[in-house]
Amino acid sequence: MRLVWNELTPKDRYLIRGIRPLSLTEMGYVTHLYLPLIGIESYTLYQLLVHELDERSGAVSEGTHRSLMLMTSLSLDRLLAARERLEALGLLEVRRRENRDRDYFYEYIVKPPLSPHQFFQEEVWSVMLLNRVERPRFEQLRRKYADPRYAELEREYPYEENVTKPFYEVYHSLAPSELEVRPGSETEQFLRRMEQHYPASPQRTDYLAEPSPTLDLSFVRLNLPSHIEAADVLTSETIPFLYQLLHFYQLSSWLLGQELRDWKLYTPDGRLDRLALRKRLREKYVDGLLSRDTALPADLQFSPGELPEPGSAQHARICRSLSPLTLLELAVGGRVSKAFLERAEALVFTDGMPPEVVNVLLLHALRETQMELPRSYLETIRDSWKAKQISTVDEAVQVILERTEAKKQAQENAKARKKPTAALQRGGRPVLQDKLPASVQRQMEREQAQEQAAKGKESASSGQETSWKLIDDPEFRELLDSFPNQQRGGKR
């Protein structure tokens, strides 16, 4: 029996945030296509969350789950079930945010629905909708969202040319002075003050709803060996594992079903051997025998070796959208080695890290180790992030940026402590010397004083020897005798 109070309580706080404004047409998609699948309770919760946001700015709204229970007339377990149905169909993303004082709240990110074209491309959803509304209503929906005229035009006029004018061609008369904002000017201060006092809502008008990979269980049941029962394979532990395989290797349900036909992948009691299935897919990938769907949109691609910067919008979108294997393929420019594959796979399947966090870790490791993935380096960061309970891209990026800033500050402090005490010339370049300890400095001063005293004695003795040598010289002696002898007091 599920204990709901261990997962959610009425006093738990929530905060609602929208990705972008939803149009009236999109709300119609939810009513016609999603309502039969999610039910009236989930539909009511979605409508409530959407209208809790500010319609103009999309500003966040917050409250407690008790208020949601009162407004929807749902008990806590029914409210949680309604929320999870929205999560399963991609209409809601839930995050749990916590600070160091163990104070937490739930962040509900309301996501737009798929377009009818995308919705009907999902075979599982289409079959579910057909079973719920039956054929006459299903045909009405397909007719309602069909566009036969556009398909006809594409057939008759297959050649097209984009003649849209870019910005610089239309606004070519703008002077540089109209766009320049000088640092420290009144305009720059005003813009900064507006940004601080009235920050814009982080809504994204460029967001496009994308379907997540779905597992068609009919393919799995159809391809199971004859002596294997589907109920023993499709358990609460196996289904999430199969979803992970679909996302990591970018497989289709049909290809995964073909792999499950082998009776060697099952234990004697009829259960799926997950390690054997992982090993099979890994070996097929290394040998180039695994068929995969690798088509990617242009905004998710980057050149080999040119990794996106942590904290950028492209970095966040890539980490949230790509599988770790696809990310490594883009980074190296092709199929990755067995060592890279095993390390990325272990982070997802063995260590249980979210794929988006694994992507952040892989990009960080590649950047810091010159496009290598040392096992010890990955394990060190993995243990640190697991201890900090990092579960999202934003949290992982924040840790990386803080670590980079701390490392930079430590280097600057180390440079500041190294002050030059003497400049020695080597090849015309000054060489900085570190400051010696006080005890060593005093000993060197005493030795220098002793050397100077010894040099003084040597110079004095050398002067005395010189005077005696002059007296012994015959010419000097003869010259000295030639002078008349003078006595003291003027007597001779």
Task: Tell me 185's DSSP state.
Answer: S
Asked whether residue 383 falls in the same domain as residue 279, the answer is: no
Tokens representing residue 195 in the block? 């940004």
Ranges of residues in the chain whose predicted pLDDT is under 70: 1-2, 55-59, 167-168, 171-179, 198, 200-216, 218-219, 418-440, 456-492
Parallel/antiparallel/unpaired status of strands 423-426 and 61-64: unpaired
pLDDT at position 46, please? 95
Per the structure, the complete domain to which residue 244 belongs is given by: 217-286
- Domain limit, last residue, from 382, 398, 414: 414
Q: Is position 115 within any domain?
A: yes
Asked whether residue 36 falls in the same domain as residue 120, the answer is: yes
Q: Are 84 and 2 in contact (CB under 8 A)?
A: no
Q: Is position 437 within any domain?
A: no
Tokens representing residue 208 in the block? 């496009």
If you search the block for the tokens 């002050």, which residue do you land on? 419
Asked whether residue 318 falls in the same domain as residue 378, the answer is: yes
Measured CA to CA, the distance from residue 357 to residue 379 in angstroms comes to 14
Q: Are 48 and 72 in contact (CB under 8 A)?
A: yes
Tokens representing residue 64 in the block? 């407690």
pLDDT at position 418, please? 65
pLDDT at position 272, please? 87
pLDDT at position 480, please? 64
Q: Is position 292 within any domain?
A: no
Spatial CA neighbour of 26 closest among 48, 42, 41, 47: 47
Parallel/antiparallel/unpaired status of strands 104-110 and 423-426: unpaired
Asked whether residue 228 falls in the same domain as residue 323, the answer is: no
Measured CA to CA, the distance from residue 336 to residue 488 in angstroms comes to 110
- Domain limit, last residue, from 392, 414, 436: 414
Asked whether residue 128 falls in the same domain as residue 261, the answer is: no
Measured CA to CA, the distance from residue 109 to residue 50 in angstroms comes to 10
Asked whether residue 315 falls in the same domain as residue 397, the answer is: yes
Number of domains making up the chain: 3
Asked whether residue 263 falls in the same domain as residue 345, the answer is: no
Q: Is position 306 within any domain?
A: yes
pLDDT at position 407, please? 83
